[in-house]
Amino acid sequence: MLTYGNAPQQLADVAVVMPTVLRPTLLRAVRSVYTQRQVGRIHLLIGIDQRQGDADQLDRLLAERPAHVAVTLLDLGYSTSNRHGGYYPNTYSGSLRTILSYAANSHYVAYLDDDDWWARDHLSSLLAAVNGREWAFSYRWLVDRDTGWIICRDEWDSVGPGRGINLEKFGGFVSPSNLLISKNCGHFIFPHWSLAGFANGSGEDRLIFAELLKVPSWASTGRHTCFYEISREHLSHPHHARELEARDIRWLNDPALMADVLRLAAEATVALKSGDAAAAKAASEQALALHPCHIPAMHCLARAEWSLGHGAAARDAIDHALELEDGNATIIATWQELHGRATS
C-alpha cells in the first residue's frame, strides 16, 4: 500500500473508496473525484482486486492528482474474492471495500464503483446532508452502458429507506456509489462489504443497507449527483423494463429512434449556425421528445430559445444540460452567459 500526497497523516474532510479491476472507465471515475468542489481535503483509496485492464491508467491518474487529494493504492498481488480463488464470498471486490473503509483517514467514507462517476458537487452536498447525522445518500441518473447516453433519473431502485421496488424485501435500497457513511456508525458495518447477500456472490450492498437501516440518523441530499452505468441485460429485468415502459423510453431498444435523435440534433445544430433559431428550436424539441436527456439537443435548445428572446426557457434548458454534464466547458460557458445577462 502506497499513499501519494501532501501531509497524508492529516485527517481528510472525506474519503472515497474505489475497488477496481482496472476497467477502461477507471480514469473517468477518478477524474470525477478530482474535480469535486468545496470539500477541502479528499483521501482517495483505490484497491485493485485483479489486474484485468490497462495498468498504465494508474500512472496517469497519479500524474493528474490535484494537491488537495491524497491517493492510496492497494495492490495485494492477489484477489480476496472467491471468484478469483480468494476466501471472501463478495464476487466483485472480496474484502477490499472493508479493508479500505478502515484504512480511510477521514471521519466520513464515500464509495464509488469504477464504472460510475459523480457530478462536481456530489461530495459537498453529501457532507452538508450528513452534518449531525451518521449516514447520507444521494440519488442517481441511469446511464446506458452501450451508448453512454443518460437514460433518466432512477426513481424506483436506489431511492433510500422506505421507498421503491426494494421496499417490501429490503426496506428500500441505496447503491454504494451514492453512500456516505460516518465511521461513528461504520465500525461494525464495514465487514459486510466482504460478504454476499445472494448465492451468486452479489448482494453485499443489500447487507450494508440492512445494517444502515438500524441507524435511524440519516439524511438525503435530495439531488441526483451520481451517474450509474447499467447494462442492457440489467435494464431488461422486469422491474427496470416496467419502469422504462411507464416513462415511454423506447429509444433504448430501437436503433431507428436513436438514429432519429442523432439526425434531429444535427439538424438543430446546423439550423442554429445558419441563424434559423426557430428551426433549431423545433428540431431540438423533436429530438428531446424522443430522448429527453440528450445533452447536445438540450444545449442547442437553450441557445435557440435565447436567440428567440425566451430567457426563462433558455435558462431552464441550460440548467438541465449542466445538471447532466457539469464538466463540459461549452455548456458551462453557455450557462454563464445565459445567467449573466438580464432576464429577457
- Kindly state whether residues 196 and 300 are assigned to the same domain: no
Please tell me the predicted confidence (pLDDT) of residue 1: 85
- Kindly state whether residues 203 and 320 are assigned to the same domain: no
CATH number for the domain spanning 317: value is: 1.25.40.10
DSSP alpha helix (H) spans, 121-203: 122-130, 167-170, 183-186
Amino acid (one-letter) located at 28:
R
Give pLDDT tens digits for 218-276.
Answer: 999 999 999 999 999 999 999 999 999 999 999 999 999 999 999 999 999 999 999 99
In this prediction, residue 208 has a pLDDT band, given cuts at 50, 70 and 90, of: very high
- Kindly state whether residues 195 and 314 are assigned to the same domain: no
Amino acid (one-letter) located at 140:
R
- Kindly state whether residues 183 and 312 are assigned to the same domain: no
Helix (H, G, I), strand (E, B) or coil at 178: helix
Asked if 82 and 23 touch (Cβ cutoff 8 Å), the reply is: no
- Kindly state whether residues 235 and 288 are assigned to the same domain: no
Number of domains in the chain: 2
Cell of 250: 423506447
Mean pLDDT of 166-183: 98
Asked if 112 and 29 touch (Cβ cutoff 8 Å), the reply is: yes
On the question of pLDDT at 212 being above 70, the answer is: yes
Write out the residue range of the structural domain in which residue 270 sits.
Answer: 254-340
- For residue 197, give the DSSP letter: S
Which of 206, 223, 246 delimits the end of a domain?
246
**DSSP string for 274-320:** TT-HHHHHHHHHHHHHH-TT-HHHHHHHHHHHHHTT-HHHHHHHHHH
In terms of residues, how long is the chain? 344
- Kindly state whether residues 196 and 161 are assigned to the same domain: yes
**DSSP string for 141-210:** EEEETTT--EEEE--SSS-EET-STTHHHHSEE--GGGEEEEHHHHTTTGGGGGS-SSTTS--HHHHHHH
Tell me the pTM.
0.95
- For residue 152, give the DSSP letter: E
CATH number for the domain spanning 44: value is: 3.90.550.10
